[in-house]
Structure 1
Amino acid sequence: MGSSTIINSDLSLGVFTGTSFNGTRFLNTTMRNSNCTDIDLTFGQFIDSSFDNTIFTNATADYATFTRCKMRSVDLTGARLKNTWFSYTNLQNANFIDVNVNGINFSHTDLFNAKINDIQLLNAISIRGSRLPNGTYIDQDYNLITNGYADCNIPLESSWNVDENNSIAIIRSKQDENNCVFAPNKAIGPVRFYQTISDKYKQVRWELNPVLVLNARLGGQMTTITIGYPGHTYTMNSNHIEPIRFPLNKSMIKEIITVVVTFNPLKGDLTSNWCDDIQITIELADQPD
């Protein structure tokens, strides 16, 4: 049944065990309370359709797209969902037990009471704009680096590499004593610290033109934040404080992308050089067709 289109149909209470819908488009179609065990939905496109209470145990839905669908209480136990795209979809009470969600997009989905754990959510490409199983709404994706927010209670070296011991410090902000920032701890620069970003971005759907977005706050004329790999970098500094957009493509899959912060303070001038709130997220520039 591949590459066909099903429109305005009601397939509820059906038994589709082992059926192939590879490449099929569902538009405004209902398949509630159905048995879809071992079904093949690879490259399928499902728009404004309903699958409430349907069993998708051990289904395969690699590169499938579910947009504005109702999928309350679906059972996806053991399903294969490589790079599956759920967007503006209701997944309340859905069962994701034994599902590898690496590369899945959950942006603007409702996962309230879904059986999905924190590790699975952490491995998803995006959960921006979603409601989590505990009812919490989240407006941004996980940071691809750790301790980018200069946590006062976390040692720098637990997340960051430094070129020279004790050359970087986490100190109280001059503007807000309740907040900490990264700052040089050496009167003569340059000094730098750096971190390799999570390789989660390598799981994206390259045809969607993924972009790494670097946001940060910084101070000082000689403070720079660079993202990239040798021969291919973008830099944020006092003259360019807007978010950095780092386009990705499949040729970069073997590269190691690093974020590097460099302070080059003038002699005796330490506190005017600082940075904080370093965040790197993945943005998918396009939607699936």
Structure 2
Amino acid sequence: MADQEQNAQTNQSLPVARKLNGLKLKDVLKFLSSLLLPLVLGVFTLVISIQQQDAARQQRDLEIRLSSAERYESQQQRDLERTLDAQRYQNQLFDTYIQEMGKLLEKSNGSLTSNEVTATLARVKTLNIFRQLDAQRNVHIIRFLYEAKQLTDTPENRSLDLSTAKLLDIDFRDTAVDGKQLDQLSLAGIFLSNATFIDIKMSNISFSRTKFDTANFSLAKINDANFSSAEFYNTSFASTSFSNTIFTKATFNNVNFLSKNIYSVNFENSTLAHVDFSFSVLYNADFSSASLSNVSFLFSVLYNPDFSSATLSNVNFSQAVLFNGKFSSLIIINVKFSSTILNDVDFSFAKLHKPDFSEAQLTKVNFASIILILATFEYAMVSNANFQQSSCVASIFDYGMLSYCNFWHSNLKDAAFQRATLNQVNFSRANLYKTTFIGANMIKSELNNTLSIQDAILTNGIRGHDENLISNGQADCNISHISGWTVSNGNITSVISNSSNSNCQFTLHSLSTGATMYHRVN
């Protein structure tokens, strides 16, 4: 009975629960729908707003681009108009100049330098027009004057003076005949920047006192030219041919002379710094009294070069070949002649500080009366060389081969000939104090008649000693030596040397009066 009542209650509660559940779901759906609609409307509104903003931004960007394009086009048009105006103005200036100079030429019978007034007027007009015209028109000005023979310097008609003119970016091929030939042109004392002379044949030209800053003469042919007192900076003469060219008192800095044909070029009294002559061939080049620093002659060939009285610092002649060269009375500091071939070269009366002749081949080289300081001749081959009366202090001849060399009256103090080969070398009256001959291949008699071999290390490692010549080699202080000498003035006596009991030396009676004496040595 109880179970039946319980089942009845359960069956009655099911519809009630379903009703409650139905009400809750309906309420939830209503609640969700009430939230969803505003949310959708909000999202839609946001999307529309973003799209409108993007469209507005794109419109603004388009308007900006169109405006920029219009401004750019307008600016281009204005620039073009200004350029055309400038060209018309420059053309007008050019035409006016040509007309005025033409009238001057007519009045002066074809010579602007015939009288001082005309020459001054022509100079002022030309310098003024150079400052106003561009490079292309300035080239035409030069060509006009050149073809009118106003830039040709002859005894009959001197060139128009254009000194102090400053010309930029001038291509002289535009002034040359057929772009190749330029003869009898005189432009002395001007300033040229970024000038071009490539592959031009030039003869009888004058650029004396002219300053070149960044110039290119590559492949040019220069004959009978005058560049005296000119200045060259960042200039290339690569593969340029020279003949009878004057560079006296010129200045070179960072210049390239790599050329196979340099004939009779005069660099006398010039200043050359950071100049490259590598692989060049020079004939009769004159560098006398010039100053060279950081200059390279690497692998070059020099016939009859003249460096007399010049100053060379950090100059490289390595692997070069020199024939009949003059290096007399010059000053050399840190110059390399390593692996160089020198034939008939004269260094007499020169002063060489730390020269390097290692592995060089020297034939008939004259070092007479030279001052060699810390010179190196290691592995060098020296034949028929003259070192008479030279100073070779601390010079190194180790492993060298010396034959028929003359060191007569030379000073070889502290020099080294270790393992050198010496054949017919004359050391007569030479000072070999502390000179090293260890392992040298030589004849002992070659050291006969030297002035001194004191403390020299001989071939066998024995230290050398000088003979006492106080009385023909007699070192006995117990006998009188004064009788073998003639004393002109003063008083002399012989005493035992402080350094050796078996040696004698002369001493003065009075240091204040001194003495003079002489003696014949057999």
Classify the TM-score, shorter chain: 0.5 to 0.7
The corresponding residue for 1:204 is none
1:5/1:227 Cα in 2 relative to 1: closer, same or farther (>3 Å)? farther
Spell out, residue by residue over 1:96-131, the C-alpha distance to the aligned partner (whole angstroms, 9 max, x if none): 321222111111111112233222223211111111
Q: CA deviation at 1:248?
A: 10
Q: CA deviation at 1:74?
A: 2.0
Measure, in 2, the Cα distance between the counterparts of 1:93 and 1:141.
Answer: 23
Which of the pair has more CA radius of gyration?
A: 2
Alignment partner of 2:361: what SS?
coil
**Does structure 1 residue 226 correspond to structure 2 residue 488?**
no
**Higher RCO (C-alpha under 8 Å, 6+ residues apart):** 1
Measure, in 1, the Cα distance between the counterparts of 2:483 and 2:440.
Answer: 36
The corresponding residue for 1:17 is 343
After TM superposition, the structure 1 = structure 2 runs for residues 129-278 of structure 1, keeping only pairs within 5 Å, are: 129-138=455-464, 140-144=465-469, 197=472, 216-218=476-478, 224-226=480-482, 228-232=484-488, 234-236=492-494, 243-245=505-507, 252=518, 256=520
Q: CA deviation at 1:47?
A: 0.6
Q: In structure 2, what residue type is equivalent to 1:235?
A: T
Contact 1:228 1:257 in 2 (8 A): no
- Relative to the length of structure 2, the TM-score reads 0.32
The corresponding residue for 2:437 is 111
The corresponding residue for 1:84 is 410
Q: CA deviation at 1:34?
A: 0.3
Q: CA deviation at 1:244?
A: 1.0
Q: CA deviation at 1:228?
A: 3.9
Measure, in 2, the Cα distance between the counterparts of 1:85 and 1:67.
Answer: 6
Contact 1:110 1:130 in 2 (8 A): yes
Measure, in 2, the Cα distance between the counterparts of 1:257 and 1:99.
Answer: 23
1:228/1:248 Cα in 2 relative to 1: closer, same or farther (>3 Å)? farther
Measure, in 1, the Cα distance between the counterparts of 2:484 and 2:354.
Answer: 43
The corresponding residue for 2:353 is 27
Q: In structure 1, what residue type is equivalent to 2:417?
A: L
Q: In structure 2, what residue type is equivalent to 1:234?
A: I
Measure, in 2, the Cα distance between the counterparts of 1:122 and 1:77.
Answer: 17
Measure, in 2, the Cα distance between the counterparts of 1:109 and 1:257.
Answer: 25
1:230/1:61 Cα in 2 relative to 1: closer, same or farther (>3 Å)? closer
Q: CA deviation at 1:134?
A: 0.6
Structure 2: tracts of 5 or more residues without a match: 1-326, 509-513
Alignment partner of 1:66: what SS?
coil
- Relative to the length of structure 1, the TM-score reads 0.55
1:36/1:243 Cα in 2 relative to 1: closer, same or farther (>3 Å)? same
The corresponding residue for 2:390 is 64
The corresponding residue for 1:161 is none
Contact 2:469 2:521 in 1 (8 A): no
Measure, in 1, the Cα distance between the counterparts of 2:521 and 2:467.
Answer: 17
1:41/1:236 Cα in 2 relative to 1: closer, same or farther (>3 Å)? closer
Q: CA deviation at 1:236?
A: 3.2
Q: In structure 1, what residue type is equivalent to 2:421?
A: N
Q: CA deviation at 1:234?
A: 3.4
Q: Compare the two structures and name the one with the higher strand fraction.
A: 1
Q: Percent identity between the aligned chains?
A: 17
Aligned alpha-carbon RMSD (Å): 3.1
Q: CA deviation at 1:17?
A: 1.2
Q: Compare the two structures and name the one with the higher helix fraction.
A: 2
Q: How many residues align?
A: 183
Contact 1:59 1:80 in 2 (8 A): yes
Which ranges of 4 or more aligned residues in structure 1 deviate by more than 4 Å? Answer: 214-217, 230-233, 245-249
The corresponding residue for 2:381 is 55
